Amino acid sequence: MYKLRKSVGFKSLMLLTSIIIFTACNNPVKPESYKVLLITNNDLAEAWQAYADWKKSIGKSTKIITVSDISKDYNATNIQEKIRLCVRDYIENYGVKWVVLGGDSQPNDKGVVPGGHITVHQQEPKGIPTDIIYLSPTNWDADNDGIYGEFKDDQEAITYPDGSIGLGRIPVRTREDVIAFTEKVIAYEANYPTGSFASNMVYTCTDQPAYAKVRNSWDGYLSKVWNGNSKRFFSSETPWDEEGKLGSYELSAENLVSLINNKTTSKMHIHGHGHLPAWLLEGKSTFIGDHVQQLNNEGAYPLITTVSCNTGEYDSDKDPSIVEQMIRKPKGGSVAVVAPIRTGKPHFSDRNDFKLMVLEGKLDGTTHTMTRYWMAGMNDNATTGEALMKAKSEMIADAKNSEAYHLCICEINLLGDPTLDMRSAAPKTPKLEVEKQLTLGKNKLEVSTAISGCTVCVWKENDGIYEIAKADDTGKAAFNLEIASAGDMVVSASGINVNSAVTKIYVK
């Protein structure tokens, strides 16, 4: 699918122009390509530029496109379908690997970026906006009745994520939100704590029937593939209990604030009841917006998964949800939370499985999705958005056979940045060494990073220079550059478990 204005005739003309340019400069003309597509509205587009520049500087070239431009450039009867066509265009023709929905949504296609098509389900008869449809090559309405994602009638047009493209929605509303979030992302990617923070995970659980499966998520799954440490912060037991008094340390909002503020835990799974503005904790303690305001975990932002009902409801008129507050909080909270948009149901394909869940810890669809998310990040080095889509892709067979699992794939979202390395270990910091100055004309630029295999990126906007290379075994990468104008050149080193380092070279 192509943009309308790129008709076949236009494309032929482009090809001809490319050949002429190619012949004239004897330099291959690279097709436009991007790693990240960020969709937002006109009000926020400018504020997102700093985020796009940061991503580009570390090798993830980012295209910002507005909903109103999409509405003009793509031909369909509704905005969701136009956004889907745009996303497919950028995946198929521009090399996009991550899709960021850069804003909150509200009912009836309002808000910064409208939610994906409303899909209807037996357990969600009012329907839920389903962002994963934006990645789909098919339109989720096989019988063409305007009702999307019907388990039986639309099955032929339903394509679930295959894990190759990362998706996330950053539910911001204002320019200030965008600026604060960008600052957190840069801190996460460039100044992530280098001590034991990366390897510590805490499971919280206040729901007795869920204890067994939450234990099993770690004991039977994640601990098998990741060499990190976990602690159980349950109503019934915590590592901080007084001797001989199991459960004496309360899983309260105040203690959860302390846990986050002491900057020791980089990964959290929050299991238990909740509603849009709150996590319900032990006794009558509720973690609400006041507690988010007490968070001062600057620079140590945990990744979070939560099953708690409606905490990830990004499309409500009642705003913000507790997860949205965690994302929007300046210098605190989180940069990516996996959460259900409505009730976080324990999905099973067989009724007897509920008993097995309580007694033996059999994972339901929701807990399994979140467990797989962590496994994909810790074991396969998937980014946040890739990891969730990979978790969903591993449930496709279940979803084709079970209406409950179909809903499970649709209702769990990544709220936050989908491009983030999940930090399975404490990051190394590159020792970035380059020449301080270059001159016009042909240059061979050598970049030393001291980290083998990391990503080295060289970018000079004015001359159209944008090169990415992998550092060799000695942590070095070399580039042959033809520099046409004076000004700054940006050089960076980044990668899996690497704190991004960025420097500038002045060309005179």
The site for Ca ion (CB under 5 A) is made up of 141, 143, 145, 147, 150, 154
Specify the residue, 150 or 250, whose C-beta has the smaller distance to Ca ion.
Answer: 150
Specify the residue, 145 or 176, whose C-beta has the smaller distance to Ca ion.
Answer: 145
Specify the residue, 69 or 153, whose C-beta has the smaller distance to Ca ion.
Answer: 153
Specify the residue, 155 or 200, whose C-beta has the smaller distance to Ca ion.
Answer: 155
Q: How far is the CB of 157 from Ca ion (least distance, A)?
A: 8
Helix ranges (H only) for 167-210 are: 175-190
Phi-psi region of 105 (alpha: psi -120 to 50; beta: other; left: phi over 0): beta
Q: How far is the CB of 138 from Ca ion (least distance, A)?
A: 12
Count of residues making up the chain: 508
Q: How far is the CB of 122 from Ca ion (least distance, A)?
A: 15
Taking alpha carbons only, the member of 325, 341, 308, 304 closest to residue 131 is 341
Specify the residue, 49 or 123, whose C-beta has the smaller distance to Ca ion.
Answer: 123
CA-CA distance, 188 to 181, in Å (whole number)? 10
Specify the residue, 120 or 292, whose C-beta has the smaller distance to Ca ion.
Answer: 120
Specify the residue, 143 or 446, whose C-beta has the smaller distance to Ca ion.
Answer: 143
What Rg, from alpha-carbon coordinates, does the chain have? 24
CA-CA distance, 160 to 156, in Å (whole number)? 11
**Residue 160: strand, helix, or coil:** coil
CA–CA distances in Å: residue 75 to residues 2, 79, 273, 413: 10, 9, 43, 27
Q: How far is the CB of 78 from Ca ion (least distance, A)?
A: 14
CA-CA distance, 328 to 173, in Å (whole number)? 9
> b/e per residue, 495-508, with b = 16+ CB within 10 A?
bbbbbbbbeebebe
Q: How far is the CB of 140 from Ca ion (least distance, A)?
A: 8
Q: Are strands 200-205 and 229-234 parallel, antiparallel or unpaired?
A: parallel
CA–CA distances in Å: residue 241 to residues 212, 219, 228, 286: 20, 21, 22, 20
Q: Are strands 487-495 and 455-460 parallel, antiparallel or unpaired?
A: antiparallel
Q: Are strands 498-507 and 437-438 parallel, antiparallel or unpaired?
A: parallel
Q: How far is the CB of 109 from Ca ion (least distance, A)?
A: 18
Specify the residue, 118 or 338, whose C-beta has the smaller distance to Ca ion.
Answer: 118
- Residue 308 identity: S
Q: How far is the CB of 147 from Ca ion (least distance, A)?
A: 4
Q: In DSSP terms, which residues pair with 501 in a beta bridge?
A: 493
Q: DSSP state, 435?
A: -
Q: How far is the CB of 153 from Ca ion (least distance, A)?
A: 5
Specify the residue, 104 or 154, whose C-beta has the smaller distance to Ca ion.
Answer: 154
CA-CA distance, 333 to 257, in Å (whole number)? 10
Q: How far is the CB of 141 from Ca ion (least distance, A)?
A: 4
**Residue recorded with tokens 């280098």:** 194
